[in-house]
Structure 1
Amino acid sequence: MWPILFRALRTYAPYITLPFAGVVGVIGYNLENWFSDKYTPYNKSIEEQRRERLLDEETLQRTGDIEKLKYSANVLNTNVSPSLS
């Protein structure tokens, strides 16, 4: 009798476990909705935070203190070997 019962359980295991798993899933889903806090505070994206941080930097606020770049008359003459100069 036991071997026949175990064979039937092994054969029909998906038909037994699938509804059971579905019921457990529905119960868990509803419990989570009842007990969890559904409010998620808004956070700015990382890109927005970085952009604001760069705008708030001290060097960008004081534009008069920034030194201007100085270019030589000819950019190609900057790294000339001694034999060519």
Structure 2
Amino acid sequence: MWPLIFTALRTYAPYITFPVALVAGAVGYHLEWFIRGTPQKITEEQSIVEKREERVLQEAAGRDLTQITSLKEKKEFTPKAVLNRNRPEKS
């Protein structure tokens, strides 16, 4: 008799466990909202990119953007080539 009961339980387990899980989930969901209270309005924060763009615009507001230094004046603009570091310099 026990083998028949275990076979029936194994065969019909999805039909039994699904409604039980559905009821337990619904009760848990409503219980959580009852304990937590009404949901509060979520305010959206600015993304990191938006914050950076705003900061750059604020920094650029006080200076003249037409006056820039030329690349020829910047001596440290281009680093020495990596491949030429170990070669002795020709004089």
- TM-score in terms of structure 1 length: 0.62
TM-score, L = length of structure 2: 0.59
Which structure 2 residues correspond to residues 48-59 of structure 1 after superposition, within 5 A? 48-57=50-59
Q: Which runs of 4+ in 1 moved over 6 A?
A: none
Pair 1:30 & 2:35 matched: no
- Identity in percent: 43
Q: Is 1:10 the counterpart of 2:45 in the alignment?
A: no
Q: 1:4-36 CA distances to partner (integer Å, 9 max, x unpaired)?
A: 111110011011001011001111221222233
Shift in Å at residue 43 of structure 1? 1.3
Q: Quote the RMSD (CA, aligned, Å).
A: 2.6
Partners in 1 of 2:20 and 2:54 — Cα distance? 52
- For structure 1, the residue ranges without an aligned partner over 5 or more in a row are 73-85
Number of residue equivalences: 70
Question: Secondary structure of 2:55's partner?
Answer: helix
- Following the alignment from structure 2 to structure 1, what is the Cα–Cα distance between the partners of residues 71 and 46? 40
